[in-house]
Amino acid sequence: MASHVIDSVFFKDLYGSEAMRTVFDDHNLLQKWLDYEAALARSEASLGLVPMEAATEITRNARAELMDKDAIKRGVDKTVHPLVSLIWQLSERCEGDAGGYVHWGATTQDVMDTAIVLQIKEAFPLFESALDGLIAVASQLARTHRDTVMAGRTHGQQALPITLGFKIAVWVAELKRHRTRLNENKPRVLTGEFAGAAGTLASVSEHGLEINARLMHELELNVPEIAWHTARDNFAEFATLLSMTCATLGKIAHEIIDLQKLEFGELEEPFEMGKIGSSTMPQKRNPMICEAILALARLARTQATTAIDAMMNEHERDWSSFQMEWAYIPEICVMTHGALELTHRVLSGLIVYPDNMIRNLNVTRGTLLAERVMLTLGQFVGRQHAHDIIYEAAMKSFEDRVAFADVLKQNSLVTQHIEAEKIDALLDPMQYTGLAGIFVDKVVGK
């Protein structure tokens, strides 16, 4: 039985996706180790360091389904070494003297590092597709609600009218930047490792650079400039990027959670009959998908901290840091992809309540448009003096719970410059959304 939520029979699809779990499962990791050993043998054979028939035999046997996984596990337990039992087994499976050329010139960390990179390489298309799909559905939502007016809020309080499309376009712009960052990180993180025991390739120094180049060509990875056994910045950058992406998804989810509160009632995550919010309160329509996204965002943040911690290594090899990557990289990848899929699910079926948005525009009794009145009055009395006048009027409206328009119309400092009908027009929230629609068009197109 699984003992972690990303593999749990019950919870795994709230904490990840099947596709990303497959990328990081034991079978695929084993195959990546074997892919490295086979590619290394072929690269060395092409330079005459290993007999070509030996490389062919190593490649023929470098298949995860041929390996005795239980024997590998027993070997790990006995040797306290992650790879040597696999090297032994692969060597023994090869006919003739081919097994003697397995792992020639490499060190274990070369294989382990590159295997993780190869897994990340498989993960990239999943992230790219998920981000592209999410950007597309969010963009369509922004276009649909380009002119759906709602209250903009700052410091948790109503500020000025905006549109729902504007709010979502801000999300889209941020997601697009993450997509750009993913592209920029790709060539750095998809760099393999062939450096030997202390990183100098001393055992194959005559051909080391050429082996490195040919090996990375075989694996379709970038060639390292120098050994990175103790330089983990590329992984840290990748993990931080995923954590930032999750933070954006968490922000989106949290916003929907807030706006789904009955006191707001402006948005709601997808609902269909059969979705249950509470085992004891039948009326509840809880934002439980959004809560799962927010949980994933918080968990991903801790993995970014771990990634930074793993950058601090000693000397030319430090497995106390290196081994943390075996845990945090699969987790942050699985959880981030899960968060992307859940967010796509939420935005694809997002329920919007424009009537409630209009209702909420009026809860301040008109003070939502205080800025507009202030700037109009400021043309006659100066901005700061106008601010003082409108401030007092707004506070009176709030404290006495009376319409802001009525307070303004009873204030001679206002009415000597602005007539009553103009006051009513200035307090129309539908007419004060600024360039919200234009910004939507800039981000997502018309």
pLDDT band at 2 (very low <50, low <70, confident <90, very high): confident
CATH 1.10.40.30: which residues of the chain? 367-426
Confidence of residue 6 (pLDDT cuts 50, 70, 90): confident
Using one digit for the tens of pLDDT, what is the confidence trace for 314-372? 999 988 888 999 999 999 999 999 999 999 999 999 999 999 999 999 999 999 999 99
In the predicted model, what is the mean pLDDT of residues 374-397?
92
Mean pLDDT of the chain: 94
289 contacts 270 by C-beta, under 8 angstroms: yes
Locate the DSSP E strands across 208-311. Answer: 267-268
Share of the chain above pLDDT 90, in %: 88
Give mean pLDDT, residues 295-302.
95
Active site residue 278: yes
Average pLDDT (75-83) is 91
Q: Nearest Cα to 429, choosing from 344, 347, 360?
A: 360
In the predicted model, is pLDDT for residue 263 greater than 80?
Answer: yes
Average pLDDT over residues 393-401: 93
Q: How far apart are CA 248 and CA 240, in angstroms?
A: 12
Query: What is the per-residue DSSP string for 300-365?
Result: HHHHHHHHHHTT---TT--HHHHTHHHHHHHHHHHHHHHHHHHHHHHHHT-EE-HHHHHHHHTTTT
* Half-sphere exposure in the Cβ direction for 206 (13 Å, CA): 4
Looking at residue 183, what is its pLDDT? 97
Q: Is the predicted pLDDT of residue 91 greater than 90, yes or no?
A: yes
Task: Summarize the confidence of residues 188-217 as an average pLDDT.
Answer: 95
Rounded Cα–Cα distance for residues 204 and 196 (Å): 9
212-233: average pLDDT: 97
Confidence (pLDDT) at 388 = 93
List phi, psi (to 5°) of 157. Answer: -120, 155
Domain 367-426: which CATH class?
mainly alpha
Pick the catalytic residue: 129, 203, 205, 278? 278
Average pLDDT of span 420-430: 93
Cβ contact 28:41 at 8 Å: no
Name the active-site residue from 3, 155, 279, 315: 155
* CATH of region 109-193+229-361: 1.20.200.10
Residue span(s) of the chain under CATH 1.20.200.10 come to 109-193+229-361
